[in-house]
Amino acid sequence: MVKVGIVGGSGYTGVQLVSLLLGHPETEIQWVTSRKFEGQLICETFGALRSMTDLRFVRFTPDLLSGVDIVFTAVPHGQAMKIVYQIARYGKRVIDLSADYRFKDITIYEQAYQKHQTPELAEKAVYGLPELFFSKIRKAEIVGNPGCYPTSAILAAAPVITEGLHAPGMPLIVDSKSGVSGAGREPTLATHFCEVDEGLKPYKVLSHRHQPEIASILKSSSEDVGEVYFVPHLSPMNRGIVSTIYLPLKQRMEEKALLALYESSYADKPFVRVLPYGTFPSTHHVRGSNYCDIGLALAPGGKLVVAMSAIDNLIKGASGQAIQNMNIMMGLDEALGLCIPPLFP
């Protein structure tokens, strides 16, 4: 049994972590922290979990670390680095769901976010996208769990980029559509029901913080990638991201070769499902699961690929992927506790 602790359990990623770990056959949650709800039963804060756990939220102190094998940190960026520093100093492994440990190049992080207080730890951290960095994750002390948009965008684009098929210097466009849970549980006007329902809108156009994350990972895979343009949209639904990615190709490509490339790239990856050519992904088919569905279309002429992916932003885009990383780090089967069928409809 792996003993785990969760720092920051009162947001949607926190409660999703707790939910998934309760069903994981090889883990035991030792504690979940929350400053806001300290002392409260988790199932009072989240009525959905009533009768499933009698854990109470506690306040984080380093003393808690002795009782666990690994820690998930699910607090906002900036706060995360302070906690991760303590965990690392204590010698425990950690999977951080904030942005603080996703960037090797601290200058990119600092431009997008803020001054980093533990740049030396950030350099050692591993980007926790198992489909690309499995062996590094296995040995990592600190895993920077990817953002939800980057997970969807990188998985959909990677085979073309990694194979060197991207038209050199040409821009790559990521047009994403997300449900609202990605914005967290803090009430704001932008996430007030009546401001969202029946409304679809772009936001943070070309200025979202996930752009440098997507760009740095893709550019590290190939020098051919030009500008990465990223436009997120908010769609009136709880969960799910669809990313539609426009990839200009160096050379003409055939449908069969394209499909074969994706199928072989993800042949042994349990959570990427490459759809038959002509079938497109839907958030509906991945909701509640750790799957990333990928669909493909080739423009007439064969010089542009539209790669589309769908994920559940709270699972493959956050807590499910974090557990996938934990499984890998702990030498367990990568898919343990995560083979949950999507909830359809």
Q: Which of 43, 148, 194, 292 is catalytic?
A: 148
Nearer to its own copies, 144 or 240 (CB): 240
Question: Cβ of residue 285: shortest distance to its own copies, in angstroms?
Answer: 4
Check if 148 is active-site: yes
The answer to whether the beta carbons of residues 155 and 174 sit under 8 Å apart is: no
* Short-list 294, 275, 149, 169, CA closest to 217: 149
Nearer to its own copies, 22 or 106 (CB): 22
The answer to whether the beta carbons of residues 214 and 153 sit under 8 Å apart is: yes
Using CB under 8 A as the criterion, what x/- string covers residues 52-91 for binding its own copies? x---------------------------------------
Map the footprint of its own copies across residues 196-235, applying CB under 8 A: 196-203, 205-207, 227, 229, 231, 233, 235
Map the footprint of its own copies across residues 300-339, applying CB under 8 A: 300-301, 304, 306, 308, 310, 339
The answer to whether the beta carbons of residues 62 and 54 sit under 8 Å apart is: no
Which one of residues 1, 39, 51, 61 is an interface residue with its own copies (CB under 8 A)? 51
Q: Give the integer Cα–Cα distance in Å for 90 and 111.
A: 29
Question: Cβ of residue 327: shortest distance to its own copies, in angstroms?
Answer: 18
Residues 6+ apart with CB under 8 A from 193: none
User: What is the full DSSP assignment across 280-317?
Assistant: ---GGGTTTS--EEEEEEE-TTS-EEEEEEEE-TTIII
Residue 108 binds its own copies, judged by CB under 8 A: no
Nearer to its own copies, 211 or 327 (CB): 211
Map the footprint of its own copies across residues 166-195, applying CB under 8 A: 171, 173, 175, 177, 179-181, 185, 187-189, 191-195
Q: How crowded is residue 267: how many other Cβ atoms within 10 Å of its Cβ?
A: 9
Residue 27 binds its own copies, judged by CB under 8 A: no
Nearer to its own copies, 14 or 144 (CB): 14
Cα torsion 272, 276, 282, 288 to 10°: value is -40
Whether the link from the prior residue into 345 is cis, omega within 30° of 0, is yes
Catalytic residues: 148
